Structures are given as C-alpha cells and as structure tokens.
Structure 1
Amino acid sequence: MNVPPARLIDFHSHWGTERGWKGSPYETAEDREALRGYFKWGMSFVSDEEQAVQFRRANVKAMLDFAFTHTMDAGALRDQHDYAFDYARKHPDVVLGNWIGIDPTQPAHVKELERCLSEGTGLVGLTVHSFTPAGTPDQPEWETCLNMCIEANRPILVHVGMSATGAGTRGGMGVTLEGCHPRYVDRVAAKHPGLNVIAARVAWPWQSEMIAVALHKANVWMELHGWSPRYFPDELKREIGKRLRKKVFFGADYPMLTHERLVEEWREEGFSSGVLDDVFSGNAETFLTSIGVQ
C-alpha cells in the first residue's frame, strides 16, 4: 500500500478544476491530444471539493499555478485570483498559496500583482514564464515586479528546461526553449541578491548548468515538478543526496502527475529516508520559516 509521507509540501501544481484552466491554450482537439501524449492525461476535471479531498488523501499542501493568466484582461485576472484566494481560505490545510502569472508590460497586471502580494491568502509568489511578452526574467520589463517581491519577501518561480507547453505541436505554440535556460536564473539571482529564486522543473537538457547555479547562489533553490524521478538525469540524482540536499523542494504537477505516484517513485530511487524527508517537507519548512510563512 502506498502510504503518504507524514507531510508533503508541493511547490508547484496546477488546478484539477475546469475553472483552473481558464485561458488555457489547449482549446483545440489537436492541442489537447498533444498534452495527452506528453503527460498521458486526458484533461478530465474534478470539482473544487474533490480536489481538496485528493490533496488531503495525499497529505499534501500545495502551491497552485493557473499558468495561463498572463493573457487575460485585468478584470478576468482579478476574478481568477479571487477564486484562488477564496479556495485557499476554504481549504487552508491543503493550499499553501498561489503562484501569480502576469504580463508585466501591462500596468493593470502589475497593479494586480501588488494587490495579490498585499491581500492574497497564504503564500503568494510571482511565476515567470519566458513566453510572456516581457520575455526572460532578466529583461527590464520585469524589474518593478521583482522589486515588489523583494520588498514583500516573497519568492519568484522561474521555469527552466524542457517545457510541456506546446510540446508535440507544430511550432510548439510559439514557445522557444532557449528562454528556459538556467542562465536567466543566474542573472536574476546575481542582480538581486535579496530575491529568493526558485527554479521550476528539471532543467534538462541543461541540468549541469542548473546544478552549478544552485550551488553558486545561496538565494537559488530548485523544485522538480513535471518529471518522474525515474527519469531524472543521473547527475541530478547524485547531487540531490549530496550537495543539493538542502536546496531541492518537492514539486508534482498535479493533475497531470499525482502526488501518490510521485511519492512512490521518489522512494523507489534509493534515496535515504533523511533525504526524502528533506525533499518532501523539511527543506520547504526551513525556507518558509526564513520568509516568515508558517
């Protein structure tokens, strides 16, 4: 029987509800088929309550990411965030907080980020996608938002490595993978030593570079959503048990990958119980305490 860990903190998952995928680029049958082929997930949705039940069953507390809100107008963006904050208030035992995705070239979006940082329920952080109009996080359009996060002592999430968005479609939905190189994590962390930067996903095909950045910068961490541990590069597996032991957070990518499946596959990789405790919750608890989040 797959017994869940005593505590599991997930630094990145999506919503299992249909509302949580509002604005998604996966509107056509062709695009949905590509997503199904990548994750073996058929975009079936659950209710708000069913999602909370699934999280409780896995003993998980999750950071949730809408992922596609940067294309919305300001009114729709605010409505979506209010939905997320209301959900977090109703289910504080399973929701750690929310990653906020905006287009920083739109002043109304920047103002909405400011509102979320000051009024949002739970931990609120900024998620940076290089395929937004502002581009990579080292571009000047992001500066105001990064400084807001520094002032609020809240982290940013920067996606690195292979992206599921657009994978298997002609033209990749316009996403270029170069924008997901760890060099952009390095540049932002160097320029803003007061900013906490979390690199999202396994950084393949640039995993060595990402390991170097995480080891070099004390304000850089990694969370590994979207990948089964079975397929982690060997170098990453070695370093998780050694130099990266205190730098890695658990990330799932629910609903595409379930928490139960990933916990079991982490256990199967031969990591010590101490390493697993750190990855599943210990490192996250230390980090959250350092930024004043209980």
Structure 2
Amino acid sequence: MDITRLTAIDVHTHALASVTEKNRPATGSDLLAGVFGTIPELTVPELAAYYRERSMAAVVFTVDSITRTGKPPRVSNEEIADQAEAHADVLIPFASVDPGRGAAAIRMAKRLIRDHGVRGFKFHPSDQGFFPNDPTVYPLYDVIQEAGLPALFHSGQTGVGAGQRAGGGIRLKYSNPLHLDDVAVDFPDMPIIIAHPSVPWQDEALSIAAHKPQVYIDLSGWSPKYFPPQLVAQANSLLKRKVLFGSDFPALTPERWFADFEKLPIKDEVRPLILKENAARLFGLSGSAQEKGE
C-alpha cells in the first residue's frame, strides 16, 4: 500500500455481501434501514473498487454475533481477509470473533492471524452481548495483544435493532466506552479504537483517549455535523493525534462525511492527521509523515 497516493484512510467499513452469493438484489437490503435508509450490499472486491476510485484505503470487516443471533456472519472472516489480500493496495482486513464462542474464539483468532493475515479485530459489545472488561474475554485479548494488533470496539448508540420491538434484543449498556478503560489498563500493548462518537457517553470516550496512550477514537457512523462540540474541540487540539477518520460505509458514504467535515472548525494542520496520518502511524504503514521525520 503506497499511502503517498492516498487522500484518506477510512478505518471503519463493512463488507455486507459474499462473492459466492447468487441473485443478490441490485438495490441493496433494508439492513439498518430504520437509521440509514436502504444501503447497498457490497462484496469485498466491490468495496475495493469503490475506494480505489477515490484514491482512499479502508479497513474492512464483518460482525460475528452468532451466540446472540444463532447465525454466522453473512461474509466470513476468511473471505474478507483472502479477498482483501488481492486488493492490498487499498484494503486492510480486520476480523470479528464473537467472544461468546469461548475457547473456539481463541482458536479462531489464532488461525485468522496465522493463516489469513488479519490486521486487527472488530468487536460490537451490544450486538455480541458482552461487557468488554469481562475477564472471561481476556484470553482472547491476550492473543490479539501478543500479535501486536489493534482492537476496534463499537461504542454508544447503535443502528442495529433501532426501531424494532425491544430494540431487536440489543442492550446498549454493553457499549459504554468506560468499560474499555479496564481493558486499556490490563492490555497496555493492545491499541484500542473506540468506534463512533459515543452517544450518549462522549465525555467518557474522550477522557479515556486522553488518559491512555494506546486508545484512539474513530469518527464513523455519524455525519460530522452531529458531532458533539467537545469532540470537535478535542479532535482539534488535545486528541489531534488520537482521532481517526471512519465513515461506517456503506451506511454512510465518505462523500457525505467529507462534505460535513469541511464545515467543522478543524485547523488546516490537523485535517491530514485525522484523515490519514494518524491511521498510517497506528497501522505502521510506510510513507507516513512521522516516518519521514516531518
């Protein structure tokens, strides 16, 4: 991946369709329709083409919540990793392993790292139904930390189950980012990305990111015009090297995100940090400004 040719690195995108599927609807499904409207279901190669056309790179993953839903991910971790390898100029594959799988989750994580070269892990505490600081999950974090990989955690409100009876069974309490403070203390060598503006717990996320060196915040899932003012203020100052661009594509397009981001009072010297340089440094990608000594 030549990041000198990239305008941005999107750290939060979803693959929603498998390359093995037939008769896939051309108009997309109603997944998250209650929040985002009907969104397109893209395969990994289609997502790669989308970002390559825009001179951008993207982190791509699925969500494994099989112990709550009883269903495996529509797109497997293996497919995402193997397809991303064919599009390594623009894609960075993360894996998602449901902690509820227990010992099997640990075996899966080791295999995905060893055999498929995943570059990080995505967790969705509300969808997967677990507290991130539950000690029973720590053996899984041990595997991730030992491999030197980052872990990205959904935080705050979620579009999953929104508007459905009983919220689709989703419990928001699991995604309070304050639970990640324990994880950051107990796993100091595992980079942690707190995904999304953490509504309604934004201050908790900001305090953890400011206090723990390895904790970052991604800005995905919300149009920047809805960002809480304290998030904008700290992204522009104290946390300028800890905040990452993320869209939540295909739920939210980079174009929509950029259009509203342009209207925020972000300093000119901070914008490239958020859009690309912070992620490049976090993922150890060559060509970042820091590596050049700038």
TM-score tier after normalising by the smaller chain length: 0.7 to 0.9
CA contact (8 A) 1:241 1:271 kept: yes
Q: CA shift at 1:124, angstroms?
A: 2.9
| Structure 1 segments of 4+ aligned residues over 3 angstroms from their partners | 46-50, 68-73, 76-79, 103-106
Cα–Cα, structure 1 residues 128 and 277, in superposed 2: closer, same or farther, change >3 Å?
same
SS of 2:159's partner is coil
For 2:52 and 2:160, the matched residues in 1 are separated by 28
1:253 corresponds in structure 2 to 248
1:29-40 matched pairs, under 5 angstroms: 35-40=32-37
Mapped contact 2:155–2:198 kept (Cα < 8 A): yes
Alpha-carbon distance in structure 1 between the residues aligned to 2:128 and 2:43 = 29
- Give, as a single letter, the amino acid of the residue that structure 1 aligns with 2:96: I
Gaps of 5+ in 1: 23-31
Once the two structures are TM-superposed, the CA of residue 155 in structure 1 deviates from its matched residue by 1.0
Overall identity of the aligned pairs, in %:
27
CA RMSD between the two structures: 3.0
Deviation (angstroms), 1:164: 1.2
Task: Return closer, same or farther for 1:101/1:224 CA change in 2, 3 Å cut-off.
Answer: farther
- TM-score for both structures, normalised by structure 1: 0.84
- What is aligned with 2:175? 180
Q: Give, in whole Å, the separation in 1 of the partners of 2:84 and 2:269.
A: 30
1:115 aligns with 2:111: yes
Aligned length: 276
1:209–1:78 Cα change, 3 Å:
closer
Whole-Å separation in 1 of the counterparts to 2:30 and 2:75 = 29
Q: CA deviation at 1:290?
A: 8.9
Q: For residue 8 of structure 2, what is the aligned residue in structure 1? A: 8
Measured in 2, the distance between the counterparts of 1:126 and 1:67 equals 7
Q: Using a 3 Å threshold, how does the CA distance of structure 1 residues 219 and 51 change in structure 2: closer, same or farther?
A: closer
Structure 1 position 273, deviation (Å): 2.4
The structure with the largest helix share of the pair is 1
For residue 199 of structure 1, report the CA deviation from its aligned partner. 0.6
* Distance (whole Å) between structure 2 residues aligned to residue 68 and residue 148 of structure 1: 17
Q: Secondary structure at the match of 1:63?
A: strand
1:238 matches 2:233 = yes
TM-score, normalised with respect to structure 2: 0.84
Q: How much does 1:50 deviate?
A: 3.2
User: Within 2, Cα distance between the matches of 1:131 and 1:78?
Assistant: 15
Letter in 1 for 2:10: D
CA-to-aligned-CA distance 1:47-104 (integer Å, 9 cap, x gap): 554332211122221111211454499xx67981221122112111121122323234
Matched, 1:228 2:223: yes
1:163 corresponds in structure 2 to 158
Structure 1, 222-231 or 84-93: larger mean CA deviation: 84-93
The 8 Å contact of residues 104 and 141 in structure 1, kept in 2 or not, is answered as: no
Find the counterpart in structure 1 of residue 279 from structure 2: 284
**Partner secondary structure for residue 123 of structure 1:** coil
Cα pair distance change 1:253/1:283, threshold 3 Å: same
Map 1:1-294 to 2 at 5 A. Answer: 6-15=6-15, 17-19=16-18, 35-40=32-37, 42-46=38-42, 48-68=44-64, 70-71=66-67, 80-121=76-117, 123-133=119-129, 135-289=130-284
Structure 2 CA distance for partners of 1:199 and 1:48, relative to 1, 3 Å:
closer
What is the DSSP-based 3-state SS (H/G/I as helix, E as strand, rest coil) of the residue aligned with 1:91? coil
Kept in 2, the 8 Å contact 1:65–1:100? The answer is: yes
Whole-Å separation in 2 of the counterparts to 1:177 and 1:47: 29
